[in-house]
């Protein structure tokens, strides 16, 4: 039914100016649409991310967006850290922490949050 349809991530934020600074300035995403300051659409690879104003911003306690970055995970983590991004460290069975990157189960993964507390992550596979 939906196997041939594209999906879009939706991220709720309280402050659109802070969100735009983060998603454009820190993450380097390109804005492709702006709907009167209430919804900004970003292009990320072949997908879209909707960043929209909501009073419920930051209430999701699970990962909201994952970027598959392949072998570039280490330099991306280093670059984001140099821009002030703080990485989350979790205790998870089978994963060990190497700097800010969790390693195990044949993968490398790093989690961080946007200014509203949305959990984002990078994975090598």
Q: Spell out the domain ranges in the chain.
A: 1-53, 62-125
At 46 the pLDDT is: 92
Backbone conformation region of residue 28, classed left if phi is above 0, alpha if psi is from -120 to 50, else beta: left
Mean pLDDT per 10-residue section of the chain, whose length is 125 residues: 90 97 98 95 96 95 96 97 98 96 97 97 95
At 1 the pLDDT is: 84
Instruction: Please state whether beta strands 63-68 and 119-123 pair in parallel, antiparallel, or not at all (unpaired).
Output: parallel
Instruction: Please state whether beta strands 9-13 and 47-53 pair in parallel, antiparallel, or not at all (unpaired).
Output: parallel
CATH architecture of 62-125: Roll (3.10)
What's the angle, vertex CA 37, arms to CA 33 and CA 43, rounded to 5? 30
- Class of 1-53 in CATH: alpha beta
At 111 the pLDDT is: 98
Could you write out the three-class secondary structure of 15-82?
A: CHHHHHHHHHHHCCCEEEEEECCCEEEEEECCEEEEEEECCCCCCCCCEEEEEECHHHHHHHHHHHHH
At 76 the pLDDT is: 98
Domains 1-53 and 62-125 share a fold: yes
């Amino acid at each position: 039914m939906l196997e041939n349809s594209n999906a879009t991530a939706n991220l709720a934020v309280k402050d659109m100016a802070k969100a735009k600074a983060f998603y454009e300035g820190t993450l380097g995403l390109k804005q492709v649409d702006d709907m009167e300051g209430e919804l900004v659409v970003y292009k990320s690879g072949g997908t879209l991310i909707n960043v929209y104003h909501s009073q419920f911003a930051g209430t999701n306690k699970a990962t909201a967006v994952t970027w598959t970055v392949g072998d570039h995970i280490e330099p991306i983590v280093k670059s984001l850290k140099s821009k002030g991004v703080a990485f989350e460290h979790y205790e998870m069975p089978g994963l060990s922490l190497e700097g800010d990157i969790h390693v195990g189960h044949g993968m490398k993964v790093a989690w961080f949050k946007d200014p509203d507390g949305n959990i984002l992550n990078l994975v090598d596979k």
